[in-house]
């Protein structure tokens, strides 16, 4: 049960962190490209950053309990299948892993400062560091749950989900989505197109990762998909394909959805829920795919994390609404 609790904590924490980092990824992109849609994106990113100190503190249970969560931290038996285990043993050693965790925390704090949006050069540098460090963090925190498995596309898949969930948060928080850009296009349509782009990006990257691994059919690579496709988790995979691809993809094709903020917010809420399911699907089957008695931990921890996030942001969201109303 301890391992399942830590797994639930990891999934919920990664989901919340992804909302912040994904929102900033869109904000840095908007700073580079320009456009009226960047105003609500950057405002939402700076708002979400207020929760970052709590999210960084929430890394402590993972650091303290990593020996229960990660197989590589409790012995060397998993190294038997490596031809050259020295590097892997060093990389996945507790001191080095904890040191990298500290580096990630400091880097996330530094690149999400308001100064990162002050110029195009700073935004480009922050975006580059985000892609490099967060993809590496996904390897250390998520891929390392199955130490023999590897995928060169995994980091990009995770980054695309973060950017998608971050864009969904923007669509929910935007106070004036009916505002029009210089070309007369509603900002809500731009946000809808942003969501559509990330939906298609995630679908492409996730499918290509699966296709390459399926075609190669190597034991070290299929080991990640086996518990997700040959157990009850296959139903969750189907749900993800529907909720994070098929349904939002069809809805976001229509301007009647993208041009009406209330309808767009419903799609964004669906995508946020799907991203939470995605985080669970990435973590739990890697920990214990055949045990369902601890399933209740995941919605409980996710709900607690969401309530904590909202409690941190609530007053500031209310302030934004009052300012807009005024």
Token pair of 154 as six digits: 């995994």
What are the b/e assignments for 147-179, b being 16+ CB within 10 Å? bbbebeebbbbbbbbbbbbbbbbbbbbbbebee
Provide the token pair at 43. Answer: 């405002």
User: What is the reported pLDDT for 36?
Assistant: 87
Tokens 């969501």, located at residue: 195
Please identify which residue in the block is written with the tokens 């609530």. Answer: 314
**Per-residue model confidence (pLDDT) at position 326:** 47
Q: Of the candidates 69, 51, 59, which has an alpha carbon nearest to the alpha carbon of residue 99?
A: 59
The residue with tokens 């964004």 is 268
- 3-class SS at 186? strand
**Dist CA 236 CA 229 (whole Å):** 9
CA distance 152 to 52: 28
> If 0-12 CB within 10 Å is exposed, 13-18 middle and 19+ buried, where does residue 73 land?
middle
H-helix or E-strand spanning residue 239: helix 233-241
Length of the chain equals 326
Rounded Cα distance, 101 and 59, in Å: 8
Global pTM value: 0.91
CB 220 within 8 A of CB 148: yes
The CA–CA distances, whole Å, from 42 to 24, 48, 158, 210, 271 equal: 7, 10, 21, 34, 20
Residue 233 is predicted with a pLDDT of 87
Where are the strands (E) in the chain, listed by range?
Answer: none
Q: What angle do CA 48, 7, 152 make, to 5 degrees?
A: 80
Q: Which residue has the tokens 């985000």?
A: 130
Give, as one character, the DSSP assignment of residue 313: H
Dihedral of CA atoms 227, 6, 169, 114 in degrees, nearest 10, equals -130
Rg (CA), the chain: 20
In the three-class reduction of DSSP (H, G, I as helix; E, B as strand; rest coil), residue 184 is classed as coil
Helices (H), 76-153: 85-91, 94-111, 120-141
pLDDT per residue as tens, the chain (326 positions): 688 889 989 999 999 999 999 999 999 999 999 888 999 999 999 999 999 999 999 999 999 999 999 988 877 666 666 666 777 788 888 999 999 999 999 999 999 999 999 999 999 999 999 999 999 999 999 999 998 888 999 999 999 999 999 999 999 988 655 566 555 578 899 999 999 999 999 999 999 999 999 998 888 889 899 999 988 889 999 999 999 999 999 999 999 999 999 999 999 999 999 999 999 999 999 987 666 656 667 777 888 888 877 777 776 665 555 445 44
């Amino acid at each position: 049960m301890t391992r399942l609790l830590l797994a639930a904590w990891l999934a919920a924490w990664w989901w919340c962190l992804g909302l912040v980092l994904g929102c900033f990824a869109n904000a840095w992109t908007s700073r580079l490209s320009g456009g009226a849609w960047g105003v609500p994106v950057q405002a939402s990113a700076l708002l979400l950053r207020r929760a970052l100190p709590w999210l960084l503190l929430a890394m402590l249970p993972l650091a303290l309990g990593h020996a229960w969560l990660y197989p590589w931290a409790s012995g060397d038996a998993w190294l038997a299948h490596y031809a050259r285990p020295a590097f892997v043993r060093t990389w996945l050693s507790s001191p080095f892993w904890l040191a990298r965790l500290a580096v990630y925390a400091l880097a996330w704090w530094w690149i999400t400062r308001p100064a990162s949006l002050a110029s195009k050069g700073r935004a480009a540098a922050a975006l580059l560091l985000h892609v490099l460090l967060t993809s590496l963090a996904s390897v250390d925190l998520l891929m390392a749950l199955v130490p023999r498995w590897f995928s060169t596309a995994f980091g990009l898949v995770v980054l695309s989900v973060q950017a998608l969930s971050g864009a969904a948060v923007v669509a929910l928080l935007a106070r004036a989505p009916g505002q029009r850009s210089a070309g007369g296009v509603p900002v809500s349509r731009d946000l809808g197109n942003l969501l559509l782009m990330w939906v298609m990006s995630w679908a492409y990257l996730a499918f290509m990762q699966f296709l390459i691994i399926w075609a190669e059919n190597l034991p070290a690579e299929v080991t990640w998909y086996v518990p997700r496709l040959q157990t009850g988790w296959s139903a969750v995979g189907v749900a993800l394909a529907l909720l994070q691809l098929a349904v939002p993809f069809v809805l976001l094709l229509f301007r009647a959805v993208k041009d009406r903020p209330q309808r767009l917010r419903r799609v964004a809420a669906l995508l946020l829920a799907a991203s939470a399911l995605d985080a669970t699907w990435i973590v739990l089957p890697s920990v214990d795919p055949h045990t369902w008695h601890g399933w209740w931990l995941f919605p409980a921890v996710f709900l607690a994390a969401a309530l904590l996030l909202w409690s941190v942001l609530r007053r500031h969201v209310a302030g934004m609404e009052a300012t807009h109303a005024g």
